Amino acid sequence: MRRTQAQVVIALALLVAAAAGGHAEDAAGLRPKVTALLGRFPAANGADRDALAAEILKLGPAAVTEVCGRVLPPGGGDDSAARFALNGVAVYAARSGAERDRLLAVRAILDAARKAADKDVKAFLISQVQLAGGAEAVKPLAAYLTDERLAEPAAQALLAIRAPGTEAAFLKALDAAPSPLRVTIVKALGELRGREAVRKLIPLASSSDDRLRQTALFALANIGDPAAGPVLERARLAAPLYERSGAPALYLLYARRLVESGRAAEGLAVARSILKYYSAPAESHVAANALGLVVSVLKDRALPDLLAVLDSPSAKLRGAALELAGVIPGSDASQRWVEKAAEASPAARAEIVAMLGRRGDRAALPAVREALRSPDQAVRLAAIPAAVRLGGADVLPDIYPFFSSPEAEEVAAAKEALLGFEAGRVVPEAARLIEETPPAGRAALIGVLAAKGARDRIDLVFAQAQSSEPSVRAAAIAGLAALAEEKDQARLLELLYAASDSEETANLQKAIAAAAGRNSDPERRADGLIGFMAVAPAAKRAALLRVLPRVPGIKALQAAVDATHDKDPQVQSAAVYALSQWPDFKAAGELVRIVSTTANKKFLLTALEGYVRLINGSDVPAWKKLDLLASAVSLPKDDADKKAVLRGIAECRGPAAFHMLAGFLDDKELRATAAQALLGMAADEAPEERWLSGHEAISILRRVEAQADDPAEKEQVSRMIADRLRQGGYIPFFNGRDLGGWKGLVADPPARAKMTAEEMKKAQAAADERMRAHWRVADGLLVFDGQGESLCTLKDYADFEMLVDWKIGKAGDSGIYLRGSPQVQIWDPEANPEGSGGLYNNQKNPRKPLEKADRPVGEWNTFRIIMIGERVTVYLNDRMVVDNTVLENYWERDKPIYPLGQIELQAHGNPLWFRDIYVREIPRDAAAPVLAESEKDEGFIALFDGSGLGGWTGDTEGYRAEDGRIVVHPELGGGNLYTEREYADFVLRFDFKLTPGANNGIGIRAPLEGDAAYAGMEIQVLEDGSPVYWTLQPYQYHGSVYGVVPALRGILRPVGEWNTEEITARGRRITVVVNGTRIVETDLDQASAGGTIDYRDHPGLSRERGHIGFLGHGSIVDFRNLRVKELK
Partner 1 sequence: MPKPHRLTRRQFLGRTLTAGAALTIVPRRVLGGPGYTPPSDTLTKAVVGVGGMGRAHLAYPGAALLAVCDVDDGHLRTALDLSGPGVKGYHDFREVLERPDIDIVHIATPPHWHALISIAAAEAGKDVWCEKPMTRTIAEGREVVRAVGRTGRIFRVNTWFRFEDPFYGFGSEVRPINKVVRSGLLGWPLKATIGAATGFDWKFYWSGRTNLRPEPVPPELDYDFWLGPAPWKPYHPHRVHGTFRGYWDYDGGGLGDMGMHYLDPVQFLLGKDDTSPVEVWADAPQQHPDACGSWRRIEMRYADGCVIILDGENRDRNAAFLEGPQGKLFRGFESDIPGLRDRIAALPDPELQVTDFAEAVRTRRRFALNERNGHRSCTLVNLGKIAVQLGRPLRFDPDKQEFIGDDEANRLAGQPMRAPWHL
C-beta separation of 1004 from 1084 below 8 A: no
The beta strands (E) that lie in 710-754 are given as 731-732, 742-744
Residues 437-466 that bind partner 1 (CB under 8 A): 453
Residues 65-84 that bind partner 1 (CB under 8 A): 74-75, 77-80, 83-84
Q: How many residues bind to partner 1 according to rule CB under 8 A? A: 97
Of residues 385 and 815, the one with the C-beta less far from partner 1: 385
Of residues 39 and 319, the one with the C-beta less far from partner 1: 319
Which has the closest alpha carbon to 838: 853, 855, 850, 829?
A: 850
Region of 747 on the Ramachandran plot (φ > 0 left; ψ -120 to 50 alpha; else beta): left
Closest separation between CB of residue 680 and partner 1, Å? 5
319 belongs to the binding site for partner 1 (CB under 8 A)? yes
793 belongs to the binding site for partner 1 (CB under 8 A)? no
194 belongs to the binding site for partner 1 (CB under 8 A)? no
Closest separation between CB of residue 218 and partner 1, Å? 6
Of residues 288 and 575, the one with the C-beta less far from partner 1: 288
* Count of Cβ atoms closer than 10 Å to residue 660 Cβ: 20
Segment interacting with partner 1 (CB under 8 A) among 150-158, 232-240, 566-574, 596-604: 150-158
184 belongs to the binding site for partner 1 (CB under 8 A)? yes
Site map for partner 1, 405-444, x if CB under 8 A? ---x-------x--xx-x----------------------
Of residues 260 and 769, the one with the C-beta less far from partner 1: 260
Q: Kindly tell me which residue out of 26, 55, 191, 486 binds partner 1, with binding defined by CB under 8 A.
A: 191
86 belongs to the binding site for partner 1 (CB under 8 A)? yes
Identity of the amino acid at 786: G
List C-alpha distances in Å: 178 to 181, 186, 857.
6, 12, 63
Of residues 237 and 765, the one with the C-beta less far from partner 1: 237
Of residues 347 and 755, the one with the C-beta less far from partner 1: 347
132 belongs to the binding site for partner 1 (CB under 8 A)? yes
C-beta separation of 987 from 1015 below 8 A: no
Closest separation between CB of residue 136 and partner 1, Å? 15
Site map for partner 1, 514-553, x if CB under 8 A? ----------------------------------------
Of residues 3 and 244, the one with the C-beta less far from partner 1: 244
Of residues 514 and 1017, the one with the C-beta less far from partner 1: 514
Q: Kindly tell me which residue out of 225, 283, 488, 609 binds partner 1, with binding defined by CB under 8 A.
A: 283
Of residues 152 and 566, the one with the C-beta less far from partner 1: 152
Q: Kindly tell me which residue out of 159, 202, 630, 984 binds partner 1, with binding defined by CB under 8 A.
A: 159
Residues 247-266 that bind partner 1 (CB under 8 A): 249
Rounded to 5°, the CA angle 428-431-436 comes to 130
Closest separation between CB of residue 43 and partner 1, Å? 4
Rounded to 5°, the CA angle 859-820-745 comes to 80
Q: Kindly tell me which residue out of 269, 347, 731, 755 binds partner 1, with binding defined by CB under 8 A.
A: 731
378 belongs to the binding site for partner 1 (CB under 8 A)? no
Closest separation between CB of residue 44 and partner 1, Å? 6
C-beta separation of 358 from 389 below 8 A: yes
328 belongs to the binding site for partner 1 (CB under 8 A)? no
Measured between alpha carbons, how far apart are the two ends of the chain, in Å?
59
327 belongs to the binding site for partner 1 (CB under 8 A)? no
d(CA 918, CA 197): 55
Strands 904-905, 952-954: pairing is unpaired
C-beta separation of 828 from 812 below 8 A: yes
Rounded to 5°, the CA angle 598-602-603 comes to 40
288-298 burial string, b = 16+ CB within 10 Å, else e?
bbbbbbbbbbb
Q: Output 1049-1053 pairs: Cβ under 8 A, ≥24 positions apart.
A: 1049/654, 1049/655, 1049/656, 1049/691, 1049/1024, 1049/1079, 1050/654, 1050/655, 1050/689, 1050/690, 1050/691, 1050/694, 1051/690, 1051/691, 1051/1075, 1051/1077, 1051/1079, 1052/994, 1052/1023, 1052/1024, 1052/1025, 1053/690
Of residues 307 and 578, the one with the C-beta less far from partner 1: 307
779 belongs to the binding site for partner 1 (CB under 8 A)? no
Of residues 326 and 780, the one with the C-beta less far from partner 1: 326
Of residues 607 and 700, the one with the C-beta less far from partner 1: 700
Of residues 203 and 453, the one with the C-beta less far from partner 1: 453
Q: Kindly tell me which residue out of 98, 622, 630, 683 binds partner 1, with binding defined by CB under 8 A.
A: 683
Q: Kindly tell me which residue out of 43, 594, 882, 1072 binds partner 1, with binding defined by CB under 8 A.
A: 43
Region of 19 on the Ramachandran plot (φ > 0 left; ψ -120 to 50 alpha; else beta): alpha
d(CA 900, CA 66): 26
684 belongs to the binding site for partner 1 (CB under 8 A)? yes
d(CA 802, CA 734): 12
99 belongs to the binding site for partner 1 (CB under 8 A)? no
The whole-angstrom distance between residue 283's C-alpha and the CA centroid of its chain comes to 42
88 belongs to the binding site for partner 1 (CB under 8 A)? yes
777-804 burial string, b = 16+ CB within 10 Å, else e?
beeebbbbeeebbbbbbeebbbbbbbbb
Contacts of 238 (CB under 8 A, 6+ apart): none
Cis amide prior to 180 (ω within 30 degrees): no
Of residues 86 and 492, the one with the C-beta less far from partner 1: 86
Q: Kindly tell me which residue out of 5, 87, 793, 979 binds partner 1, with binding defined by CB under 8 A.
A: 87
Segment interacting with partner 1 (CB under 8 A) among 128-136, 1045-1053, 1058-1066, 1087-1095: 128-136
Helix (H) or strand (E) holding 976: strand 976-979
940 belongs to the binding site for partner 1 (CB under 8 A)? no
Rounded to 5°, the CA angle 457-463-465 comes to 105
Identity of the amino acid at 983: Y
Residues 911-930 that bind partner 1 (CB under 8 A): 923
d(CA 901, CA 879): 26
Segment interacting with partner 1 (CB under 8 A) among 684-692, 760-768, 851-859, 986-994: 684-692
296 belongs to the binding site for partner 1 (CB under 8 A)? yes
244 belongs to the binding site for partner 1 (CB under 8 A)? yes
152 belongs to the binding site for partner 1 (CB under 8 A)? yes
Closest separation between CB of residue 802 and partner 1, Å? 16
C-beta separation of 701 from 678 below 8 A: yes
List C-alpha distances in Å: 874 to 440, 804, 879.
76, 11, 8
Closest separation between CB of residue 685 and partner 1, Å? 7
367 belongs to the binding site for partner 1 (CB under 8 A)? no
d(CA 488, CA 724): 59
Of residues 478 and 887, the one with the C-beta less far from partner 1: 478
Q: Kindly tell me which residue out of 100, 114, 199, 211 binds partner 1, with binding defined by CB under 8 A.
A: 211
3-state secondary structure of 683: helix
Q: Kindly tell me which residue out of 91, 168, 760, 967 binds partner 1, with binding defined by CB under 8 A.
A: 91
DSSP state of 369: H
Helix (H) or strand (E) holding 290: helix 284-298
Give the DSSP letter string of 424-491.
HHHHHHHHHHHTTS-HHHHHHHHHHHHHTT-GGGHHHHHHHTT-S-HHHHHHHHHHHHHH--GGGHHH
Which has the closest alpha carbon to 5: 1113, 1114, 748?
A: 748
Q: Kindly tell me which residue out of 65, 130, 405, 836 binds partner 1, with binding defined by CB under 8 A.
A: 130
Of residues 384 and 1017, the one with the C-beta less far from partner 1: 384
391 belongs to the binding site for partner 1 (CB under 8 A)? no
Of residues 126 and 557, the one with the C-beta less far from partner 1: 126
